[in-house]
Amino acid sequence: MRASHEIRFARVEDLANVLALVRALADFEKLPGPDEGAAARFASDFAAARFELLVAIADGEVVGYALYFMTYSTFLARPSLYLEDLFVTPSRRGNGIGEAFLRKLAAIAVERGAGRFEWTVLDWNVRAQEFYLSLGARMLPEWRVCRVDGEALAALGADPK
């Protein structure tokens, strides 16, 4: 039997728990998590509505989150919903929380007239890939993620004079 949970929009008081989950996701992905400066920016950006955030609540605690924002497709001439992060505490996986997040996000995309709902998945996370495929997602092998960050971003954004 699946444990009960609630998916709802995050509140300011959820942010400390969400940040703990962001750090857990970073550990899972073998990446450095947010430092205190990043945590402060996260709270400020949440207040400024630079992103939207859903949380999963089970037994009175935050056990998962989904962070997303809207982008725009010029080819479709419609908005798109982009899922940046989806994370569920390992002990709560298999209880339908991930699927509930994706269904809620898809409903938000439909409600907002989005032409698509997109996200990325690590190439080694086969379990997640299989899960997404089971829900009707397609993998787009012909596309590659491009990223410019750190010193390369500063150099690219510098005045060329």
Give the pLDDT score at 64: 98
Give the pLDDT score at 161: 77
pTM of the model: 0.93
Cβ neighbour number for residue 101 with a 10 Å cutoff: 23
Distances (CA, A) of 142 to 62, 138, 145, 147, 156: 36, 12, 10, 16, 26
Give the pLDDT score at 2: 63
What is the arrangement of strands in the sheet containing 61-73, beginning at the earlier edge strand? 6-9, 52-58, 61-73, 78-88, 116-119
Question: Helix, strand, or coil here: 99?
Answer: helix
68 is a catalytic site residue: no
Q: Hey, what CATH topology would domain 6-157 get?
A: Aminopeptidase (3.40.630)
Where exactly are the structural domains of the chain? Answer: 6-157
How far is Cα 51 from Cα 20, in angstroms, rounded to an integer? 18
Per-10-residue mean pLDDT of the chain, 161 residues long, equals 86 98 94 94 98 97 98 98 97 95 98 97 94 96 93 94 77
Q: For residue 92, which amino acid is it?
A: R
Q: Which of 65, 68, 82, 132 is catalytic?
A: 132
